[in-house]
Amino acid sequence: MPEGKLCNRKPIETEEELKTLLSDTGGKKYYEEMKSLDVDSGLLWKTIGNTLKSRTKTWLEICAHCGMCADSCFLYLANDCDPKQVPAYKIQSTLGEIVKRKGQVDNEFMHMVMETAWAKCTCCNRCGMYCPHGIDMGVMFSYLRGLCYQQGFVPWELKIGAGMHRVYRAQMDVTDEDFVETFKWMVEENEEDYPGLEVPIDKEGADILYTVNAREVKHYPEDLAEAAILFHLAGENWTVTSTGWEQTSLAMFAGDWAACKMQVESVYEAMERLKPKRMIGTECGHAHRATVVEGPYWAGRSNGKPPVESIHYVEWLAEALREGKLKIDPAKRIKKKVTLQDSCNYVRNHGLKDITREIMSYIVDPGYFIELSPNREHNYCCGGGGGFNGIGLFRPQRNKGLITKRDQIIESGAELVIAPCHNCWDAIRDLEEEYKIGIKWSFLKPIIISMVEIPEHLKPEE
């Protein structure tokens, strides 16, 4: 029977429900209710019957328990090689069991599954590269999260996050008006330094449609200003949309597939309405994965692609620097030891490994760029992916999970970590707060702004 008032199998549909859940500080009552939330085994088994892909089934069956994936998981390493952190074990003891028991699992079991799905895997997809059979826990855990979500066993913040997307089509309570108004404000704030700076809204047929992360609007609108400035200096014909501007998807982290679809469709609608040549998203890894890599499947697009060509910010930036649309003042290039955090979400899922290094070659003085080891598609997750960063309940586990990245950075000797991904940026920020290793961290945009040459005709007079 019991479904709680706050913790239940129903998704958030209205602003009021969202507020009610938010007012349950820290999810106290929510998690209390979760303790007596029943598992709807019938629904669970039926869902599995309908949605478990044959690939996943095969993966579960063919795993040889060889353990070769163990070392590949940063959480296994950060937790002193705890056997319970071996990727194969994590999935076999959760999804594997549920399938074996045909959905007949109880509340206590689902609590364990929830913790495993959100606190023991960030869906970074690294293990999949090391398994001789190509078994990818990241993919399976994403699927498992969907089952958890359907049953109501989802961390409080992510139930809220998914609800935000359902209510606002954004990961935070930022409305379309807020978005447009904030962008305009940022342009006003900077137009003296950059005469002619503007933010074209809902312009049809522009070369670039720019999409963002709602957090930029809410807390760091400087990021919007920086994006506008760089497009301006590069002489781009760009626009933003007044609706469907949010590229991220906490719904993806939550396993709320219906909300994923709603969210990404709002962006695709904007593409179809404005018909830009290309869509460029902000410096966010999971946003790119959600909108460009996975989104087309959620939205049921047969060609597996978004309505218009969609690229990550780093791809645009590399191109602008390569083609000389943006010119770097060589004297202002970075002259301290700097490294790069590869975001799993676009390095493993979208192959963007060389392009970021190309950017480094333009902005760092020769000899100062250091690679983390391992790097590129072999890089470890920052430690906070897949929603891990924001879940209060699993904070201790998350802090432990940062250790792998911390040690990688210390070993590199870098003073500055460039993280062109919101989640990675957050995790590295928290890592500094937690372990105080004396590093700085940054997105690319502010760094580029500090060293870009302003073309003569765009300079302020005086």
Partner 1 sequence: MFKKILFATSATEASDHAARVAFNMAQAYDASICIFHVLGVPTRGFSQIVMDVKTKEKVEIDDEYIAWVKEEIKVYYSKQLEKAKSYNINYDIKVAVGFPHREILREARNYSPDLIVLGGSTGDDEDSVYKKSMVGSTLQRVAKAAPCPLLVVNRPAASFWGGISQIVFGTDFSKASDAAFKFSVNLAKDLDCELHIFHALDISNMHMGRLLTQDEIESQIRESLRRIRGRYIGELKEIKDYSFDVWEGLPYVEIVKYAREKHADLIVMAHHTQKTSNEDARLGSNIEQVIVRAGCPVISINK
Question: Which of partner 1, ligand SF4, none does residue 440 bind (CB under 5 to 8 Å by kind)?
Answer: partner 1
Question: Which of ligand SF4, partner 1, none does residue 49 bind (CB under 5 to 8 Å by kind)?
Answer: none
User: Cα–Cα distance between 75 and 81 in angstroms, integer?
Assistant: 8
The residue from 15, 115, 176, 222 that contacts partner 1 (CB under 8 A) is 222
Q: Taking contact as CB under 6 A, which single stretch among the options 20-28, 122-130, 144-152, 311-319 is the one that binds ligand SF4?
A: 122-130
Q: Is 296 in the site for partner 1 (CB under 8 A)?
A: no
User: Cα–Cα distance between 104 and 58 in angstroms, integer?
Assistant: 21
- What stretches of 43-95 adopt beta strand conformation (E)? none
Query: 176 or 191: whose CB is closer to partner 1?
Result: 191
Nearest distance in Å: CB 113, partner 1: 22
Query: 160 or 352: whose CB is closer to partner 1?
Result: 160
Q: Are 187 and 198 in contact (CB under 8 A)?
A: yes
The residue from 192, 204, 323, 456 that contacts partner 1 (CB under 8 A) is 192
Q: Is 385 in the site for ligand SF4 (CB under 6 A)?
A: yes
User: Cα–Cα distance between 326 and 365 in angstroms, integer?
Assistant: 17
Alpha-carbon dihedral sign for residues 64, 68, 69, 73: positive
Q: Is 446 in the site for partner 1 (CB under 8 A)?
A: yes
User: Cα–Cα distance between 299 and 266 in angstroms, integer?
Assistant: 10
- Cis omega before residue 374 (within 30°)? yes
User: Cα–Cα distance between 94 and 56 in angstroms, integer?
Assistant: 13
Map the footprint of ligand SF4 across residues 231-290, applying CB under 6 A: 285-286
Q: Is 431 in the site for ligand SF4 (CB under 6 A)?
A: no
Q: Is 317 in the site for ligand SF4 (CB under 6 A)?
A: no
User: Cα–Cα distance between 228 and 216 in angstroms, integer?
Assistant: 13
Q: Is 23 in the site for partner 1 (CB under 8 A)?
A: yes
Q: Is 137 in the site for ligand SF4 (CB under 6 A)?
A: yes
- Closest residue by Cα to residue 111 from 29, 28, 33: 33
Question: Which of ligand SF4, partner 1, none does residue 215 bind (CB under 5 to 8 Å by kind)?
Answer: partner 1
User: Cα–Cα distance between 64 and 263 in angstroms, integer?
Assistant: 38
Q: Is 462 in the site for partner 1 (CB under 8 A)?
A: yes
- What stretches of 222-319 adopt beta strand conformation (E)? 238-239, 278-281, 309-311
- Closest residue by Cα to residue 372 from 383, 380, 363: 380
- Closest residue by Cα to residue 257 from 127, 165, 190, 370: 165
Q: Is 135 in the site for ligand SF4 (CB under 6 A)?
A: yes
Q: Is 391 in the site for partner 1 (CB under 8 A)?
A: yes
User: Cα–Cα distance between 434 and 430 in angstroms, integer?
Assistant: 6
Question: Which of ligand SF4, partner 1, none does residue 390 bind (CB under 5 to 8 Å by kind)?
Answer: partner 1
Q: Are 444 and 313 in contact (CB under 8 A)?
A: yes
Question: Which of ligand SF4, partner 1, none does residue 137 bind (CB under 5 to 8 Å by kind)?
Answer: ligand SF4
- For residue 130, give both structure tokens: 């090391």
Nearest distance in Å: CB 70, partner 1: 28
Which residue type does 59 have?
W
The residue from 9, 29, 111, 218 that contacts partner 1 (CB under 8 A) is 218
Nearest distance in Å: CB 433, ligand SF4: 16
User: Cα–Cα distance between 271 and 311 in angstroms, integer?
Assistant: 13
The residue from 293, 395, 397, 416 that contacts partner 1 (CB under 8 A) is 395
Nearest distance in Å: CB 73, partner 1: 21
Site track 397-426 with ligand SF4 (rule: CB under 6 A), x = hit: ------------------------x-xx--
- Closest residue by Cα to residue 230 from 90, 111, 327: 327
Burial of 159 (0-12, 13-18, 19+ CB in 10 A): buried
- Helix and strand element counts for the chain (H, E): 24, 7
Nearest distance in Å: CB 421, ligand SF4: 5
- For residue 54, give both structure tokens: 């044959």
Q: Is 130 in the site for partner 1 (CB under 8 A)?
A: no
Binding site for partner 1 (CB under 8 A): 22-23, 25-26, 157, 160-161, 171-172, 185, 189, 192-193, 215, 218-222, 250, 332, 384, 389-392, 395, 423, 426, 429-430, 432-433, 440-441, 446, 450, 454, 460, 462
**Residue ranges binding ligand SF4 (CB under 6 A):** 63-69, 72-73, 75, 87-88, 90, 121-127, 131, 133, 135, 137-138, 141, 285-286, 343-345, 381-382, 384-386, 421, 423-424, 427
